[in-house]
């Protein structure tokens, strides 16, 4: 097992990239975590165990992959960049509990790649009592669709421990009424317990991003999730309530349900839920938004 694999320092990365004649691509959101202490913070927050199957999106050089393989039953790691995939392969080829895939983790912004899900399912079936965990230094450009789409799966990850933009972490953990609170906040908090583990300055990455980052830990709460009868409808409904953020709730509902609900129907729904139509969606907590969604769904007959 190559000793250098666990040493993703700046000098190590620059040497490996120079030897391979490659450079990071900003279009793939490639920013490598070079602080080894923070790699350990990420891993410790994930609490990996011998029954865990890990999904990593963005293998990079394979440094984090190697460390996770030492703690988990299996790691499925995905890398879209062909050159990085080959570089990581040089570090990981000896490991029997790592599956490397060179593909895009997303089929499109609303759907994960079926080929990836097939491999993850295969590895989950191979480990008795397995739990799926997402652990990644997520590329910024795919962080939101990866996290949100994983919660649409029939069996979502037990947890997600990832580095993302702090701006995104603030949106995920935001409380009602603040500027960061929106559809993503409600979607995540309706099914999970969420926390920011550590804020990361640009200096701990190479190349340095122009933004501050954060490690977040998201843990599935199945009791919360079971309160949502139709996940896809709820997901779509919540997003529609924030299409025009400054609109009052009655106007937003009428706009979102145009040609499906009349004004009297919308007024009746608001009365049922006990809401004033002049409030805004950003003022509704998760429970109230779910109640509103279910009242709308019942009226539509969906």
pLDDT tens-digit series, residues 19-66 = 766 766 655 667 888 888 999 999 999 999 999 999 999 998 899 999
Query: What is the percentage of the chain residues whose pLDDT exceeds 90?
Result: 81
Q: Are 64 and 92 in contact (CB under 8 A)?
A: no
Read off the pLDDT of each residue in 206-228 and give the average, rounded to a whole number.
Answer: 96
The 3 state secondary structure assigned to 147-207 is: HHHHCCCCCCCCEEEEEEEHHHHHHHHCCCCCCCCCHHHHHHHCCEEEEEEEEECHHHEEC
**pLDDT of the residue at 2:** 40
Q: What are the extents of the domains in the chain?
A: 3-225, 244-300
**pLDDT of the residue at 250:** 97
Instruction: List, in sequence order, every beta strand (DSSP E) within 166-271.
Output: 192-200, 205-206, 213-220
| pLDDT above 80 for 15 | no
Residue 207: band (very low, low, confident or very high) from pLDDT cuts 50, 70, 90 = confident
Question: Which of the pair, 192 or 60, is modelled with greater confidence?
Answer: 192
Q: What is the CATH number of domain 3-225?
A: 3.40.50.150
Q: Are 128 and 50 in contact (CB under 8 A)?
A: no
Q: What is the CATH number of domain 244-300?
A: 1.10.8.50
Query: What is the percentage of the chain residues whose pLDDT exceeds 70?
Result: 93
Q: Are 161 and 216 in contact (CB under 8 A)?
A: yes
**Averaged pLDDT of the chain:** 92
Read off the pLDDT of each residue in 136-151 and give the average, rounded to a whole number.
Answer: 95
């Amino acid at each position: 097992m190559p000793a250098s694999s666990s040493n993703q320092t700046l000098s190590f990365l620059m040497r490996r990239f120079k030897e391979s004649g490659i450079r990071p691509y900003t279009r793939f959101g490639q920013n490598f975590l070079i602080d080894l202490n923070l790699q350990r913070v990420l891993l410790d927050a994930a609490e990996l165990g011998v029954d865990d199957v890990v999904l990593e999106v963005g293998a990079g050089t394979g440094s984090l992959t190697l460390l996770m393989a030492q703690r988990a039953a299996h790691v499925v790691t995905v890398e879209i960049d062909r050159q990085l995939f080959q570089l990581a392969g040089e570090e990981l080829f000896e490991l029997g509990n790592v599956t490397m895939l060179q593909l895009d983790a997303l089929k499109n912004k609303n759907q994960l790649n079926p080929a990836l899900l097939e491999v993850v399912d295969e590895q989950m079936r191979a480990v008795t009592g397995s739990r799926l965990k997402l652990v990644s230094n997520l590329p910024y450009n795919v962080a939101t669709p990866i996290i949100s789409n994983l919660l649409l799966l029939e069996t979502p990850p037990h947890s997600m421990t990832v580095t993302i933009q702090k701006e995104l972490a603030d949106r995920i953990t935001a409380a009602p009424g603040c500027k960061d609170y929106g559809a993503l906040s409600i979607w995540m908090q309706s099914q999970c317990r969420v926390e920011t583990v550590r804020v990361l300055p640009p200096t701990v990455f190479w190349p340095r991003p122009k933004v501050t980052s954060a490690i977040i830990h998201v843990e599935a709460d199945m009791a919360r999730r079971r309160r949502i009868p139709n996940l896809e409808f709820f997901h779509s409904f919540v997003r529609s309530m924030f299409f025009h953020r400054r609109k009052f709730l009655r106007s937003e509902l009428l706009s979102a349900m145009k040609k499906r609900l009349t004004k009297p129907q919308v007024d009746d729904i608001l009365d049922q839920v006990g809401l004033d139509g002049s409030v805004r969606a950003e003022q509704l907590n998760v429970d109230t938004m779910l109640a509103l969604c279910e009242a709308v769904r019942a009226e539509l007959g969906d």
